[in-house]
Chain A
Amino acid sequence: MTALKPLLRYTHDFAATTHAVWLREVLRMLRDSGQIVGAFSRPVLWVMIFGIGLTPYFRTGLRETTFMVPFTYIQFILPAVVVLNLMYPAIQSAVSLIWDREFGFSREVFASPTPRSAIFLGKLAGGTTIAMAQGLLVMILLPAANVPVSYTSMLAALLPMVAVALAFTAIGLLLASRMSSFQGFGVFANTLILPAFFLASSIFPLDPSLSMEQALQSFPAWLVFLVHANPVTYAIDELRWAMLGYRQFDPVTARAVLSAFVLIPIALAYHAFRR
């Protein structure tokens, strides 16, 4: 038993630090009115304006469609908007790392007797929590979008949501570990988020009933390739499956890609953070 004591003590200290860092991230977010406004306005903008506006064109299409997505456009993009509302705050949370370096708070943290891994874990958990809160906020729009809600569908939605939140928080931490300016980080984050979002079959479907050859006839090859290569594609697909029972891609591939998409950025970010 005595041999266990230092281990228990270490675990306790580790947990206390992780908790402290996590809580700080969450408190900082709650005091950032800009973030809160963004968290509300982003989904409203996408769902209520973009979604409603494009719904009439969705089924009939401006060109011949070979298949029918059995949902309205609002329903189709809602899971994607959830992912978008996860991506922004997750990446954004890592700005605190640059902020801390700039304003000296990192000295307080890094000169303390806590292990760096606990600080990293706290940051990762903090960013993920903030992102999850904003992602779940989009669910307020479920009735307006006419998406049926059930406990099981909500629970099933949590897993792909956490995956996106973790992955993008880790990507943010990786970027922030290597960047020194806020502006640089902001520009970089935006140039990453928007293409990753648009190239994920988020706002337009790739026809799943088509073979690859047929898909290449209706869309340019680079687009088909990029959508398939983009991990966010599979996150949105998983979420659509959970919320609407509709998917366009192979579930095994989707889950494999998502697992790698969570683990690799975390490993890279941790490596960058330890330096």
Chain B
Amino acid sequence: MDNAAVIEVSDLRHSYSSVEALRGVSFSVPKGSFFALLGPNGAGKTTLVHALCTLLRPSGGNVSVAGLDVRRAPRAVRRSLGLVFQEASLDDRLTVFENLIFHARIYQVPRRERRRRAWEVLALVELEQWANAPVSDLSRGMKRRLEIGRAMLHEPTLVVLDEPTTGLDVQSRRRIWEYLERLQKDHGVTLLLTTHQISEAEGADWVAIIDQGRLQALDHPAKLRQGIGGKLINLQIGDDAFRQALSERFPGKCKQRDSVIQIEAEDPDSLLRELVADEQQWRMVDSLEVVDPSLEDVFINLTGRELRDRTINLSR
């Protein structure tokens, strides 16, 4: 096993009665990295996370966390994990500080260190003034920050965040990103984050794209974008015949939606020059846009679908 890997997943499979949620997923997460698991809802992300944090016994394959097998040493695995769940998991009736001390106790933080560490993580997520407030007084964003701080309380090697910014406003999101960056840079924590939002994966060191229970791609975000090649040119053209002609000229490089045709161009300059040169053609172009490919484009390229919330077909 690679010593530098915090998570090793090999050929992980899991089925819920007749539905295959994971169909053989393998990857490893290097120590100290920020690893994003990107996929639409129902892709198998949460199943994967639950297998990682030993909440679910996978039907097949192996998972190890910090060198420990999740099946054989679940308690040791749990101790090395910090978890931030998709939904809130705080006790509203206790105060902020009491929630932290409770966590310290059930994660076996030595008594002498409990209070000191609680104050440390409160400082980390800037909630010191709220220490004695009941959690029910906190906003959604503050609760999420508290949960991130709490996940750090027992000094885990790996923090797993399942869709951490769902339902938060922009400001809270930005703050949470700052904390996560700080965790990784200053505390050397490995971060594994699941998301269905492209923008959240862009800043990661590694992005794994998962869909229908399979890993579709795994690389640095920049490399994934490069895989698409050059730039994307979006042309709005009212004339059907012209669009048709273009897509025939660049087979496999074009996508159409309504009156917009998108062309993947490794050398956008020459293509544009060619377009502008033919005045008759140029007049038919209503608008033109040259953009860098995003992870969304990578995703569409890989799966032929957009990464939006879609309904999952359970009978599949």
Contact = CB atoms under 8 A, between A and B. Distances in A.
Contacts of A28: 91, 93-94
Contact of B98 (A13, A27, A105, A112): A27
A103 interface: yes
Range of interface residues on A (Cβ < 8 Å): 20 to 34
Contact of B88 (A21, A27, A104, A114): A104
B96 to A, nearest CB: 13
A104 B85 contact: yes
A109 interface: yes
Contacts of B108: 13, 16, 113-114
B91 A16 contact: no
Nearest to B160: A111
Nearest to B103: A108
Given A111-B78, A113-B79, A105 B105 contact: no
A275 interface: no
A110 interface: yes
A23 B78 CA distance: 23
B106 interface: yes
Interface in B72-122: 75-76, 78-79, 83, 85, 87-94, 98, 101-103, 105-108
B162 to A, nearest CB: 10
A28 B93 CA distance: 6
Nearest to A100: B91
B291 interface: no
Most central of A105, A110, A113, A115 by chain B CB within 10 Å: A113
A107 B89 contact: yes
B88 A20 contact: no
Contacts of B106: 16-17, 20-21, 109, 112-114
B103 to A, nearest CB: 7
Contacts of A114: 106, 108
Given A111-B55, A112-B106, A31 B93 contact: yes
A115 to B, nearest CB: 8
Contact of A103 (B75, B88, B94): B88
Contact of B105 (A20, A27, A31): A20
Leading 4 A-B pairs by shortest Cβ distance: A20-B105, A113-B78, A104-B89, A108-B89
Interface of B: 53-55, 75-76, 78-79, 83, 85, 87-94, 98, 101-103, 105-108, 134
Interface of A: 13, 16-17, 19-21, 23-24, 27-28, 31-32, 103-115
